[in-house]
Amino acid sequence: MAKILDKQRYKCALGAMQTVQAIERALPILHSGPGCAQKLSDTNGSSGYFSPNIFPCTSINEKDVVFGGVKKLDSTIENALKVVDADLYVVLTGCIPEIVGDDTGEVVSRYADNDKPVVYAPTAGFKGNNYKGHEQVVNAIIDQYLEPSDKKQKGLVNIWADVPYQDLFWLGNIRELENLVREIGLTPNTIFGYKRGIDNINKIPEAEFNLLVSPWVGLSTVKKLEKKFGTPYLHLKTLPVGATETSKFLREVGKFAGVDEFTVERVIKEHEDYYYYLIERYADLFLENRVINKQFTVVADAQYTLGITKFLVNDLGLVPAKQFIVDDTPANQREAIAEEFKKLNYGIEAEVSFETDGFKIHDEIRNHDYHGYPLVLGGYYEKDVTEELKGNFLNISWPVQDKVVFDRAYAGYTGGIRLIEDIYTVAVQRFN
Amino acid sequence: MAYKIAVASSDGVNIDVKFGAIDSFLVYEIDDDEINFLEKRLIALDEENVTKTSANVNSKSDCNSSCNTNSCGGGAKGCGGPSGVTSRVELIGDCRSVVCAKVGFQAQKQFEKKAISVFDIECPIDFALKKISSYYKAIDGKQKWQANL
């Protein structure tokens, strides 16, 4: 029987149009009903040279359902190529054409000889959410555009992290990961954000290895790259937030890339010294246990729930209540991710639930004994329930309604400090 | 349940007339898998109405005939202006959908209000009716949708 999902935390696969948008000068062409792009866009930094309001769209209607929308798609692509100047065109299909059975792949193949690449990703909503759609888009570019390269660039690392725009801090996070990798002497290559784009996409096959920093999103991508270009990959499930995980991150990347230990340790020491200098200055605040909550809950996608839980336990010494992963993680990945929640310092283990139903999550939060007021880091949906429990709330995952983020990051040493600032900014307000 | 579909055709074989240039509709009745031609409905040209909607018509004596076949090309409006659209829409108000080569915004909106689907496509009548009836059958829950009929 059909179920109603309360407070869902993701969009349909077509939401991956935002993944395309995150690639500079790449344009999504939508084969979908009118209004899809409008509904899927958030006002979180999505205007600019291309924005969801101008994405070419076939705007298919009842007639195209009955007679097929292939002709309309062909003319939409043809005209988009004429009037919109982009480096890469990505045709995305919505639910309707996929149900009707339009052969989008065939239409797109007519543009194989076009001087700018046109690729196609099936992103019908019934095929999954925008985390899956993100993978589809990146995989489509690899499959349909990239060619194996004889040239391998020593020290070049492709970095893959979580989903642009869905993750509010995507830009800051990926830059921070780049910086960390650069500091230990490697050359990072990413495709999202300012001045990356098609040039960096072209460099993907030349990389020495792929670095995936995500619990599960992008795993199919790095596997695909290994198969197609023979590039090995390093999969680190935890987004490094704060000193403990970031140092671990640097050591693992350094070891995998064959960077000498001395260099890695030097970088770590430099960062940790400053990090703990900051922590030390605020130690009195941290030790004043009236300020912060005894237990916390994170309600976010796998990336943040895992990354932040580790940070709050390992770096801040808080006690985890139940944690929730709300991104509809594929069933075959869940066990490995849940395992990560058992690898916390001081022998602490966190219980984690893969749950997409907001109603059930809120019920559990209400019924849990937090030994005081809870600290809840989650989507905007958790604001009310946290206020009800007189707890402290920080909006860190989609949907985000109460903050504007340009390029801040929670990743890395600096990211950890930013997160502490944000949490304590909320916490100290209670006493002032 | 049986329903009707109105078709705009000049030769009774192909759908080739724009909505504004229609002088008659061919109405078909669809009952399950049976498609039967029912009747031809002529558009009664209200002379008085045409002269009212456009003052220029009378000054050009030969305009009347050409405007009636030339869609919206003439100042006199081939469709007879908004009231012309209304009378056409009303003429086939009992149909579930209408199929013609092209349709304007004005007419489309009026059909939408009456929950009549408009398909603007140029193809043989047989082909269109088969596609549409199969589609209706699917959305009425009588058969699985077959995309490549």
- pLDDT surpasses 90 at B85: no
Report the mean per-residue pLDDT for chain B: 78
Q: What is the ipTM of this complex?
A: 0.74
- pLDDT above 90: percentage of residues in chain A: 87
Asked if A243 and A365 sit in the same domain, the reply is no
Q: Note the pLDDT of residue A289.
A: 65
Q: From chain A, which residues contact B within 8 Å (Cβ)?
A: 62-63, 65-68, 99-101
- pLDDT surpasses 90 at B76: no
Q: Can you tell me the mean pLDDT for A397-405?
A: 91
* Domain-embedded: residue B33: yes
Q: Note the pLDDT of residue B94.
A: 94
Total domains, chain A: 3
- pLDDT surpasses 90 at A2: no
Asked if A290 and A413 sit in the same domain, the reply is yes
- pLDDT above 90: percentage of residues in chain B: 51
Number of CB pairs, chain A paired with chain B, less than 8 A apart: 22
Among A255, A272, A289, identify where a domain stops: A272
A379 vs A383: CA distance, rounded Å? 8
Output the domain CATH number for residue B35. Answer: 3.30.420.130
Q: Note the pLDDT of residue A125.
A: 87
Stretch (H or E) spanning A214: none
- pLDDT surpasses 50 at A186: yes
Q: Note the pLDDT of residue B79.
A: 53
Report the mean per-residue pLDDT for chain A: 94
Asked if A318 and A372 sit in the same domain, the reply is yes
- pLDDT surpasses 80 at A303: yes
- pLDDT surpasses 80 at A421: yes
In chain A, residues with a C-beta closer than 8 Å to the C-beta of B140 are: none
Asked if A174 and A133 sit in the same domain, the reply is no
Q: Can you tell me the mean pLDDT for A338-345?
A: 95
Among A252, A272, A292, identify where a domain stops: A272
| Residue range of the domain that includes B73 | 3-139
DSSP calls for B22-76: -SEEEEEEEETTEEEEEEEEEPP--HHHHHHH-TTGGGSTTHHHHHHHSTT-STT
- Among chain A residues, the shortest Cα distance to B145 is held by A100
Among A245, A272, A299, identify where a domain stops: A272
Nearest to A76 by CA among A118, A144, A30: A30
Q: Can you tell me the mean pLDDT for A250-272?
A: 97
* Domain-embedded: residue A3: no
Interchain pair B131, A67: CB under 8 A: yes
- pTM for the model stands at 0.89
Q: Which of A165-179, A373-387, B77-91 has the lowest mean pLDDT?
A: B77-91
Higher pLDDT, A291 or A374: A374
* Domain-embedded: residue B149: no
- Give the phi and the psi of residue A141 in degrees, each rounded to 5: -65, -45
- pLDDT surpasses 80 at B83: no
- pLDDT surpasses 50 at A276: yes
Asked if A212 and A241 sit in the same domain, the reply is yes
Q: Can you tell me the mean pLDDT for A212-236?
A: 97
Interchain pair B119, A63: CB under 8 A: yes
* Domain-embedded: residue B146: no
* Domain-embedded: residue A84: yes
* Domain-embedded: residue A2: no
- pLDDT surpasses 60 at A179: yes
Interchain pair A63, B120: CB under 8 A: yes
Residue B39 to residues A28, B36, B51, Cα–Cα distance (Å): 47, 9, 29
Q: Can you tell me the mean pLDDT for A203-217?
A: 97
Q: Which of A224-233, B74-83, B93-102, B119-128 has the lowest mean pLDDT?
A: B74-83
Nearest to A166 by CA among A281, A19, A47, A23: A19
Top residue of B132, B137, B146 to mutate, by most chain A CBs within 10 Å, is B132
* Domain-embedded: residue B145: no
The pLDDT-based confidence of A432 (bands split at 50, 70, 90) is: low
Cβ-based neighbour number of residue A390 at 10 Å = 10
Nearest to A325 by CA among A214, A246, A164, A200: A214
Asked if A135 and A179 sit in the same domain, the reply is no
Q: Note the pLDDT of residue B48.
A: 44
- Give the phi and the psi of residue B3 in degrees, each rounded to 5: -145, 170
The pLDDT-based confidence of A1 (bands split at 50, 70, 90) is: low
Nearest to A305 by CA among A373, A356, A271, A254: A356
Query: A233 with A211: CB under 8 angstroms?
Result: yes
Asked if A87 and A21 sit in the same domain, the reply is yes
Asked if A173 and A127 sit in the same domain, the reply is no
Asked if A297 and A425 sit in the same domain, the reply is yes
Query: A142 with A218: CB under 8 angstroms?
Result: no
- pLDDT surpasses 80 at A249: yes
Q: Can you tell me the mean pLDDT for B5-30?
A: 93
- Among chain A residues, the shortest Cα distance to B147 is held by A100
In chain B, residues with a C-beta closer than 8 Å to the C-beta of A62 are: 117, 119
Residue A55 to residues A52, A215, B121, Cα–Cα distance (Å): 5, 31, 26
* Domain-embedded: residue A219: yes
A265 vs A246: CA distance, rounded Å? 12
The pLDDT-based confidence of A387 (bands split at 50, 70, 90) is: very high
In chain B, residues with a C-beta closer than 8 Å to the C-beta of A67 are: 119, 121, 123, 128, 131
Q: Can you tell me the mean pLDDT for A96-101?
A: 89
Asked if A285 and A425 sit in the same domain, the reply is yes
| Residue range of the domain that includes A397 | 279-429
Classify residue B31 by burial, with Cβ atoms within 10 Å: 0-12, 13-18, 19+.
exposed
Is residue B108 within 8 angstroms of chain A, CB to CB? no
- Among chain A residues, the shortest Cα distance to B122 is held by A67
Asked if A265 and A377 sit in the same domain, the reply is no
Q: Note the pLDDT of residue A6.
A: 86
- Give the phi and the psi of residue A104 in degrees, each rounded to 5: -65, -40
Q: Note the pLDDT of residue B8.
A: 95
Top residue of A61, A65, A66 to mutate, by most chain B CBs within 10 Å, is A66
Total domains, chain B: 1
The pLDDT-based confidence of B53 (bands split at 50, 70, 90) is: very low
Q: Note the pLDDT of residue A202.
A: 97
Q: Note the pLDDT of residue B145.
A: 58
Exposure on the CB side of residue A72, measured as CA atoms within 13 A: 22
Output the domain CATH number for residue A37. Answer: 3.40.50.1980
- pLDDT surpasses 60 at A298: yes
CA terminus-to-terminus distance, chain A: 51
Asked if A163 and A290 sit in the same domain, the reply is no
* Domain-embedded: residue B144: no
Top residue of B109, B118, B119 to mutate, by most chain A CBs within 10 Å, is B119
- pLDDT surpasses 70 at B60: no
The residue type found at A248 is: K
* Domain-embedded: residue A1: no
Higher pLDDT, A271 or B148: A271
* Domain-embedded: residue B58: yes
